[in-house]
Amino acid sequence: MLKKLLFIAMVLPLCAYAQEETNETTTMATGTADAPSFKNKRGVEVLPQAGDWSIGISASTALDYLGNIFTTGTNNNSDWWEYKGSPATQTVIQGKYFTSGTFAYRAGVNLNFANGKAYYQTNDDNGSSPDSYVQDTRTYSRAGVTLLVGAEKRKGTGRVQGVYGADVFFSFASNTKYTYEYGNAITETNQSPTFNAPQVGVGGTSPSEGYRITDTKGTSNFGVGAQAFIGVEVFVFPKISLGGMFTWGVSYTSTGTSYVTEEAWDGQSGSVKEYTTTTINGYDLNAGIGNMNGIVSANFYF
């Protein structure tokens, strides 16, 4: 019930403003096909002009939320500010700069960095009582960046405008790296010590029997590509639009090596030995539609 009231409180003022905008007669001032100018009755410019900047965000998750707010849909808690689309357009920040009313440069960036540490309580194999504990730890880190640059052209002199153009993009991503530390050491007298840290190798694999993981690192990826796009924007308010876009692109991704390092007691040498398994690198070359479901965006111009 609270969600419905919040929805009504948000939507009613927008509906009232939209109705007022719709009821007003609009005039074409001095606009041309190359420099469109479309003003409402108050004389406020509706369309982007030379020198304007733009910020775009995904409207898909917000529409999922509003579409399910009166139902039992599972998207009611989705992140409104998550940007969806093809890999090239999964950007947290995407902006444009207009050199004219019909041409703009585009740029986007996605930065993704994370690290952390988890602790796991484990029975102390050398403890004097069952309530003696030591601690295992698992540290993780990962990083990624995507950069996109391009240009777009526009066609149309009213609230509905066609948009088309092309982008190039560069991306790098390192898969999650895990480092383990164990409270119970492997020794000659304790060759299979107790531990509780989750044992998950690259690709979800489990360690070999009798071993435990000390380090893992997934494959890193470097990619380049280009895409063409075509879509439409509808200016529901002055300098505010909803847009839809489809892309077709080509991308090349180079995949690095991954590895898993495990440790175990080696009876022949009478010591702890580490064993590392690696995968070979490779590449992928893909071409096709980058977003089968399209991209719905909300765009703000200033």
Tokens for 267, please give them.
Answer: 């009876």
User: Tens digits of per-residue pLDDT, 233-248?
Assistant: 999 999 999 988 888 9
State the DSSP string of 45-113.
Answer: B-S--TT-EEEEEE-HHHHHHHHHTTTT-TTTT--TT---SSGGG--SEEEEEEEETTEEEEEEEEEEE
Q: Report the alpha-carbon angle 222-225-229, nearest 5.
A: 145
pLDDT reading at 64 higher than 80: no
pLDDT reading at 27 higher than 70: no
pLDDT confidence bin for 300, thresholds 50/70/90: very high
Please list the residues that pair with 163 across neighbouring strands. Answer: 154, 231
pLDDT confidence bin for 297, thresholds 50/70/90: confident
pLDDT reading at 151 higher than 90: yes
Average pLDDT of every residue of the chain: 80
Neighbours of 301 (CB within 10 A): 21
pLDDT reading at 5 higher than 70: no
Q: What is the DSSP letter of 11?
A: H
Q: 9: part of which helix (H) or strand (E)? A: helix 2-23
Q: List CB contacts of 19: < 8 A, sequence separation 6 or more.
A: none
Are 301 and 60 contacting, i.e. CB atoms less than 8 angstroms apart?
no
- Tell me how many helices (H) and strands (E) the chain has: 2, 14
Are 183 and 135 contacting, i.e. CB atoms less than 8 angstroms apart?
yes
Q: 298: part of which helix (H) or strand (E)? A: strand 295-301
Q: What does the pLDDT read at residue 40?
A: 85
pLDDT reading at 145 higher than 80: yes
pLDDT confidence bin for 292, thresholds 50/70/90: low
Rounded alpha-carbon distances, angstroms, from residue 71 to 74, 75, 191: 9, 10, 57
- What is the end-to-end Cα distance of the chain in Å, rounded? 36
Q: Report the alpha-carbon angle 196-200-206, nearest 5.
A: 100
